[in-house]
Amino acid sequence: MPSPPKVPIPTLERLATYMRMLVELSSNGSATISSAEVEVCTGVDASQFRKDLSYFGMFGKPGVGYDVASLQRKIARILRIDSPQPVVLIGAGNLGAALVGYPGMAEHNFEIRAVFDNNFAKIGRKLWDTEILDINDLESVNREIGARIAILAVPSSAAQEVAEHCVRAGMDLILNFAPTHIKMAANIFVRDVSFLQELAVLSFHAGPSDDHS
């Protein structure tokens, strides 16, 4: 490899933010946007925006700004959502239902191609318009889908086991909504999402004297 340009995680997170903004802008018919305008729309510092993009090459024209449609295509390619990105969801509970029903998913080219559960009462029923499948069929189904991304919306007690099952089925990118730490081999990329973490950060700031230090 010539040079593996390591991209900071925060930069990737912001790329998704830019993507959101661009989707919105393009539907509003805007043609170009400057980094200063990005700062107003997203709250991200203008030079931060430019530096984020600079990890991947040059996208804008000095004196003009960035072409909305073109930039959207390029970020989509970077994030591997220029063509539909297949995703598998495990857990057909409330959270799973919310995720399947979330419109932003499809708008950004993430396609939940299958939903699995281990509850016989749920298997065979439909979540919106996708059938809930038996978790035991994970390997065989994903042999067809070829998803590398798994979303875990299962109880903590099942998370570790389910994650390992996903790995056996060929997935190596895991988004874990269960409030527990998952131990995985180094080549498996796990990302934890915890509502409680977010709430805790807020709650801390509910100190006696508005301690916004």
Quick check: 66 and 60 in contact, CB under 8 A? yes
Quick check: 148 and 170 in contact, CB under 8 A? yes
Burial 71-103 (b: 16+ CB within 10 A, else e): bbebbbebbebeeebbbbbbbbeebbbebbeee
Q: Is 41 one of the binding residues for DNA (CB under 7 A)? A: no
Q: Is 43 one of the binding residues for DNA (CB under 7 A)? A: no
56 binds, among a copy of itself, DNA, none (CB under 5 to 8 A by kind): none
Instruction: Find the helix or strand (DSSP H, E) in which 40 lies.
Output: helix 35-42
Round to whole Å and give the CA distance between 1 and 163.
31
Residue nearer to DNA on the CB measure, 22 or 138: 22
- By residue count, the chain amounts to 213
Instruction: Find the helix or strand (DSSP H, E) in which 49 lies.
Output: helix 46-54
> Per-residue contact track with a copy of itself, 75 to 104, x per CB under 8 A?
---xxxx---x-x-----xxx-xxx-xx-x
In the Cβ-directed half-sphere of 113, how many Cα atoms lie within 13 Å? 18
Instruction: Find the helix or strand (DSSP H, E) in which 33 lies.
Output: strand 32-33
Report the C-alpha dihedral over residues 33, 36, 41, 47, rounded to 10 degrees: 110
Which of 41, 50, 67, 167 binds DNA (CB under 7 A)? It is 50
CA angle 54, 59, 60 (to 5 degrees): 110
Q: Is 189 one of the binding residues for a copy of itself (CB under 8 A)? A: yes
Stretch that binds a copy of itself, among 26-34, 66-74, 113-121, 182-190 (CB under 8 A): 182-190
> Per-residue contact track with a copy of itself, 110 to 139, x per CB under 8 A?
x-----------------------------
43 binds, among a copy of itself, DNA, none (CB under 5 to 8 A by kind): a copy of itself
Residue nearer to DNA on the CB measure, 69 or 145: 69
Q: Is 31 one of the binding residues for DNA (CB under 7 A)? A: no
Q: Which residues make up the interface to a copy of itself (CB under 8 A)?
A: 4, 6-7, 9, 12-13, 15-17, 19-20, 41-43, 78-81, 85, 87, 93-95, 97-99, 101-102, 104-105, 108, 110, 148-149, 151, 172-175, 179-181, 183, 186-187, 189, 191, 193-207, 210-213
Q: Which positions touch DNA (CB under 7 A)?
A: 8-11, 34-36, 45-48, 50-51, 53-54, 58-66
